[in-house]
Each structure stands twice: as structure tokens, then as C-alpha cells.
Amino acid sequence: MARRKRTGNVDQSQSYGFAGETIVAGEDVLNSLGVAQFTCPANQDKTAKLHEFFLLPAHKEDSERYGLDLFIHYSVGINNASVLCPRLMKQVFEVYGITVPKEYEDGKCPVCKLADRLQQKSNEMQKSVGEEEGREFWKENVAPLRSYYGKTTNPEPNRHLMWVRNADDESDEENIQFFLSPLGVYKECILKKTKDRRSGKTIDLADPDNPYIMYFERKGEGLLTKYEGCGAEAYEEDDGTAIPMPDAWFDNVPRYTDILNFKTYDEIKEIMGDEDVVETTSDAKKESDEFFEKDFKDAEEKKTRRRRKVIDPDDEDIVPENTDEDIDEVKERVGNRRRKRKAQTAEA
């Protein structure tokens, strides 16, 4: 039986990851489970590189959705660690019907607590010292601590944990990988491909009997990273007959919680250290500058306010709506201008 095979520059490297990665269990745990990380760097010259994978079904005791939402705090403490947010991850587990890890049972997060305290300090500085100083403080100390995109009332995860298999490996052997998918890839490559345009029927992209090859291209790095060309192609013979996944591909898929590294409140607090103001790395500061360059333009210079460009380790091209804090800030600025004009009119 001749299998149809896509050709392309497919990555097999396992070197890509977060700086100070702490959200995934250690190598000994991963090795014992027989899983590795699916990675997606660009080419060495930063040009586009094609990445292809099969989306594997989740463990039978986990959610049937495509992947687990992850809310991650980046650049925590002097070692720039990345930790899962206990507050938001507890909600994720409850929604998915997954037992909440004992470390997250109280749902308290010291990073969120610090961010809230620094947010209040930023608000006070804007009133007492000046708006510019308050915002500068916010972008350097509050923005890098956020573990989500969008509004605080409707946060979006900044990663998705999915079980995949490199499409370049079509052997019958077990080769399970976990993919910490960027939000853009998850939305464009997965969510938008789950419905057939012609029939309107829902497509199960992780159906072992009718699998699909998911693909996308990544180019650039840092703030210049782009994910493009997302798509899905049925895995089938030349005559259109579906090629089922061998059982070995998905029989031993672990549970999501098997590979995640859960930190208690005290452990996260220890990683953070005792500093009230978190110093950001140069990369984090660049991301913050990019964030605010587009978000905090003087309202008088524009008729409409541009929507926020989020902070992301890979600088994805995702633009969620302004937060409630942004809206309150604009209202306050408008009120200040009105009071100023009223005072000037009274003096005249």
C-alpha cells in the first residue's frame, strides 16, 4: 500500500523551548513516558520553514477538545522562569472536567498578586507623579507578568498543549510528541479547520481512522516571528482512501497532567524572590516597548484607539481587544481634558 507523502522542509529538531522553562516535567519523566517535544524553529537564516504534524487524540480520560489551554507567566524571577498560573489553570481543569492538581486547589497565584499590587501602584503614580511615569512603570513591571491575552474578564490562553506526531515519520512505531502551540497556530491551524466549508460538517482532525496532516510555516525570530500558511490535508491514498493511524501512534498518549510541572504558591514565590518590582530582561523590555508603542499613543492624535498588540515570546500576530483598564484610562484622560477646557473657558 503506497502512502501519499507531502514533501517539504520538515523540522525534526528538539532544541527549541522557553528560556528558563519550568512548565514541563523534567527529562526523566518525559523519557519514562516515551514522549518528546515537537519544536518549530525557523531556518537558520530566519527564512520560512515548513512544519507538519498529525494531531493525535487525547487520553480517553481527558477532554476531547484539541489540546489543553495553558496560562503561563514568563520571565519570573532572576532566572526568567516560566510557570503555569495556578489561578487560571484551576479554572481550566474545572471546565475540562480534569481533577485539579493539589498544588492548585486554593487557586492562589503570587505572580497575579504581585501584578495586581503593581497595577495599583501604576494607577497611583499616574495620578500623583504623572501619566507618562505611571505607564512606564506599568510596561516595565506589570505587562511582562500577564499570563493571558485579551480582557481580564475574558482571558485567552497564551499556549495550547497538544499531542502530535511529526508527519515526516510515517512508520508504525510509537513517536508521541507534545506541542506547546502558540495561540495563532492553534486558531489558524486547528480551530478554523474543524468545519468543512462546502458541507458545513464538523471535521474531527484527530480521528485515528480519518487523520489529517496539519501544516504551517514559521519565519523570523523574536519580535519578527510570523506563522503563515496554516492548513490541513487529509492523510489518504492517491485514490482518496483514508489511511488510518496505527494504534501505536496514540495508544500510549499520556494525560495532560502527566507532563506538566505544577508549582505550589510557596514554590512560585520562592522563584520570584523578594523583589516588589520585577526587573525585565532586555528581550522582555523590547516586547514591552513594542506593546506600548502601539497602545499608548496620545488619544488627541487619533480619532479611534488602536487595539492592543499582545506580548508573546514568539511575537504572534494576534490583536485582542483593549482591557477594562485601558477603557478606564481613556475615560479618565477625556475627563481631564474636559475639566481643563472648562477651567480655561471660566478664566476667559
Q: Which three cell numbers stand for residue 276?
A: 516588589
Is pLDDT at 304 greater than 80 in this prediction?
no
What is the pLDDT, as a whole number, of residue 187? Answer: 82
Q: What is the CATH number of the domain that holds 224?
A: 3.90.198.10
Nearby residues of 151 by Cβ (< 8 Å), 6 or more positions away? 320, 321, 322, 323, 324
Cell numbers 478606564 correspond to 328
Phi/psi region, residue 75 (left: phi>0; alpha: psi -120 to 50; beta: rest), is left
Is 108 a member of any domain?
yes
Q: By mean pLDDT, which of 123-132, 217-226, 229-238, 320-329 is the weakest?
A: 320-329
Whether 141 and 278 have beta carbons less than 8 Å apart is answered as yes
pLDDT band at 120 (very low <50, low <70, confident <90, very high): very high
Q: Which three cell numbers stand for residue 27?
A: 527529562
Is 291 a member of any domain?
yes
Single pTM value for the model? 0.72
Whether 24 and 30 have beta carbons less than 8 Å apart is answered as yes
Where in the sequence is the domain holding 221, given as residue range(s)? 1-322
Angstrom distance (rounded) from CA 66 to CA 161 = 9
Question: Within its chain, how far is the Cα of 243 from the centroid?
Answer: 32
CA-based nearest residue to 232, from 54, 48, 40:
54
Amino acid in position 259: I
pLDDT in tens, 250-294: 999 999 999 999 999 999 999 998 654 444 444 443 443 333 333
Nearby residues of 29 by Cβ (< 8 Å), 6 or more positions away? 258, 259
Is 269 a member of any domain?
yes
Angstrom distance (rounded) from CA 160 to CA 180 = 6
pLDDT band at 164 (very low <50, low <70, confident <90, very high): very high
Q: Which three cell numbers stand for residue 49?
A: 520553514
What's the structural domain count of the chain?
1
Is 54 a member of any domain?
yes
CA-based nearest residue to 282, from 226, 222, 220, 218:
222
Is 225 a member of any domain?
yes
Is 342 a member of any domain?
no
Q: Which three cell numbers stand for residue 17?
A: 523551548
What is the pLDDT, as a whole number, of residue 201? Answer: 72
Is 274 a member of any domain?
yes
Is 145 a member of any domain?
yes
